[in-house]
Every structure is written in structure tokens, then in C-alpha cells.
Amino acid sequence: MGGMRESQSTVAHPFGAFTSAFTFRRLAPVVILGVVTWAVLIALFGGSAALDAIASANGRWLLAALVVHYASFGVRGHRWRRLLDMAGYRLGYWHATSLLIAGWFVSALLPARAGDLLRVGVLRLENPRRAAVPVGVSLGSIVSERALDILAILMLGAGFGWAVLQMQAPNWLIVSYAAALALLAGLAVAVLAAPTLVDWLRTWSQRLAWQKLLNFVQQAVSSLRLLAKRPRTAVLALMESFLIWLSDALVLWFVILSLDGNLPFSHAAFAALTVDVLAAAPLTPGGVGQIDAAYVALFALTPMAGAGFNVGAAVLLVRFITYWSFLLFSGAVAAFAGFGEVIRRLHNQGATPFTGVDADSSLAAHPSSDISS
């Protein structure tokens, strides 16, 4: 594949192109923000007491949390592969999963989920092993991921929230869930209305650029509508989404247990899933600081039973497992898989994932056909 060719230079120096794409200037703000966040949490929750709690945490529970979190990305890769296969583009499991992990790495360092653009850009590159995936199809698969994620988080979070708080949820929490529900409903309305709207917009102008833009929109919407046409695939993808987000609940619960906290799983699940709702639109790269603050706020709603339980230590351990350790792991996966070379090529060519889009590509084309996006 164009971005994954095992050239001698890439194999010999797998980190060369990758480190050139992510300079210290880009990494420094995330590291500084992370250090400040850690310092504030440690100071707020007893200083040395928080550090002592971390040092005395049960390693077995922490290892279980680490395994669960990392394994969830295997499920994410399988789900994305399923969505692309539904649109007629078959990716190998390793390629799909490693690309998804590389996208997470980029999003963890850059704002606005920039890693999704990396995924789109890699799939549209020429590849002798598979057909290039049109931008509309790959973008549609990612939007489908987001829709499934929001639906799973809302269903699970609302269920656990009712069990924990019943009618005592604070207004800011209700507004957060309502906003996520409105976003999901708006997406559904847009997908349903898009075909009629696109046909109407076509009458505005016959310019080639305008028609190609509408073809691209139509292609992306058609990719999203595939879930409604394939109910079995949609149900399986939703079940995988439940597993993915329940893993977040398990990670938090295992961390609490490692610190001798006594909290029912339903409470831990409600806290973890509500943080996921609040972090749906990260304001900082990787949600650094934002997610930590959300955890602290949620812990305030779920009083902890357990002598000496330290909230700051719990938040730091969860974020170390789910962000900082995975940042190193995902960076290594992205580098060894060759995605650094892809980033370098796109940067040198001044390309974006939307450069050279052939919006006339057929959504239903078989992956063995000669397609270029």
C-alpha cells in the first residue's frame, strides 16, 4: 500500500519519518498541560497522600484495567473493519486496527480529532493490495462510528445513571445528556433528509465543482444509510460499541478496587460513561485537563466508601492507563506500522485527505475494482 510500503528506509528507521512529523513544538503543549493537571490534582487531594495512595495501589487490579483498555481497541478495529466491509471495502484486521490506533495517537496530540483525517487520508492513497477507499465512504464509516458510540454511551449511561441517581441528577448532567441526544437526533434527521436536499441543491448550479461537492455529500450519506439497510450488521456493531464503552467502566472500577475503594460497579459505570459524554467534544488535545476535571466532578456525585480513598490518585491512575500509557503505545504502533511515512508524504505533497477527491466514485464498487478516490 502506498503509505505502508516497506521501503528499506522505513524498515531500517521506523521512527524517522514519524518523529519528523511530530516535533517537540507540537508535543510540548500537551506535556505541559498534563504536568500542570497532575500537579493540581496532587495538590488538591493531599499532596503526599495522593502519591502514597498511588504507590500502594494493588498492581493486579491495575494490570486488569490496563488489559481491558488495550483490548477495547481490538474491538474498535474490528467494528471499523465491519463498517467498511459493509460499504464494499475489505481491510485486513491488522491494517484497520493499527490505522485506528494511529488515528487515536494523532487525535491525542492535536485538537478537533485530527486523527480521523489521518484515517481518511491513508485510505484514499493508492495501494496495490486493495482499492483506494473514496473519502465519502471512509468519512461515512467514521461518522457511523461516532453515532454508534453516542448511542451506546447514552443508553448505558442513562441506565446506570437512573440506578444511581434516579430523580436526583443535577441540571448540568441532564443538559449534557440532552445535548448528546440532540446531536444524535440531528444526525438522524440530516441523514434522512439529505437525499431530497441534495437533489434540490443540484438545481442551483451545473458547475462541475458544485456537482462534485454534492456527489461527495451523497456518497457520505449513502455510507451512513447502509446501517439502516443492514440491520444485522447494525446490531452487531452496536453490541461491539457496548463492549467498547463498558470497558471504560471496568477500567475505572478496577482502579477504584486497586485503591481499596468500595463502590458498586453501577456507580463506577455511571461516572465513566458520563465523563465520556462530557468528553465527546474535547476542548484540548486528548481532553487533557478536561477529562480529569470531569472525573473529579463525577466522583463528587458518587460518595466513596473506603478508608483513605484518594480521588486524586484514582483520576491520575485512570488517566495514566487510558491516555499517557496508551499515547506511548499508540505512537509505537503508528511508527512501526509505517504511518509516519504516510504523514511525511502528505505533508511534503501539501495534501489533505480531501485533495483530489473523485466524488463520482461508486459507493457500491467492489474492492477488487480499480477505484481511486
Per the CB < 8 A criterion, the answer to whether 251 and 68 are in contact is yes
Q: Tell me, rounded to whole angstroms, the distance of Cα 26 from its chain centroid.
A: 20
Q: How confident is the model at residue 208 (pLDDT cuts 50, 70, 90)?
A: confident
Q: Distance between CA atoms of 327 and 104, rounded to whole angstroms?
A: 8
Per the CB < 8 A criterion, the answer to whether 80 and 116 are in contact is no
Going from N- to C-terminal start, the domains of the chain cover 16-349
Q: How confident is the model at residue 59 (pLDDT cuts 50, 70, 90)?
A: very high
Nearby residues of 293 by Cβ (< 8 Å), 6 or more positions away = none
Name the residue among 294, 308, 307 with its Cα closest to residue 41: 294
Phi then psi for residue 84, to 5 deg, are: -70, -40
Name the residue among 273, 279, 286 with its Cα closest to residue 246: 273
Cell representation of residue 20: 519528523
Question: 243-254 burial, b for 16+ CB within 10 Å, e for fewer?
Answer: ebbbbbbbbbbb
Instruction: Name the average pLDDT for the chain.
Output: 76
Name the residue among 208, 80, 203 with its Cα closest to residue 144: 80
pTM of structure: 0.75
Q: How confident is the model at residue 228 (pLDDT cuts 50, 70, 90)?
A: confident
Q: Which residues sit opposite 226 in a β-bridge?
A: none
Within 10 A of 303 (CB to CB), how many other CB atoms are there? Answer: 9
- 78 pLDDT exceeds 90? yes
Count of positions (residues) in the chain: 373
Cell representation of residue 365: 464498487
Summarised one tens digit per residue, pLDDT across range 115-161 is 888 888 888 876 667 778 888 888 888 988 988 898 898 888 888 87
Cell representation of residue 83: 463498517
* 11 or 137, which is more confident: 137
Q: How confident is the model at residue 25 (pLDDT cuts 50, 70, 90)?
A: low
Task: Give percent of the chain above pLDDT 90.
Answer: 17
Please state, in angstroms and as integers, the Cα–Cα distance from residue 247 to each residue in 46, 241, 270, 279, 281, following that order. Answer: 29, 10, 12, 16, 20
- pLDDT number for residue 76: 96
Name the residue among 94, 97, 118 with its Cα closest to residue 108: 118
Please state, in angstroms and as integers, the Cα–Cα distance from residue 299 to each residue in 113, 235, 261, 302, following that order. Answer: 27, 32, 12, 5
Within 10 A of 33 (CB to CB), how many other CB atoms are there? Answer: 16
Q: Distance between CA atoms of 106 and 191, rounded to whole angstroms?
A: 28
Name the residue among 302, 187, 211 with its Cα closest to residue 252: 302
- 63 pLDDT exceeds 80? yes
Nearby residues of 59 by Cβ (< 8 Å), 6 or more positions away = 258
Phi then psi for residue 46, to 5 deg, are: 95, 5
- pLDDT number for residue 28: 67
- pLDDT number for residue 303: 66
Summarised one tens digit per residue, pLDDT across range 233-270 is 889 999 999 999 999 999 999 999 998 888 889 888 98
Name the residue among 174, 130, 168 with its Cα closest to residue 154: 174
Within 10 A of 34 (CB to CB), how many other CB atoms are there? Answer: 20
Q: How confident is the model at residue 344 (pLDDT cuts 50, 70, 90)?
A: low
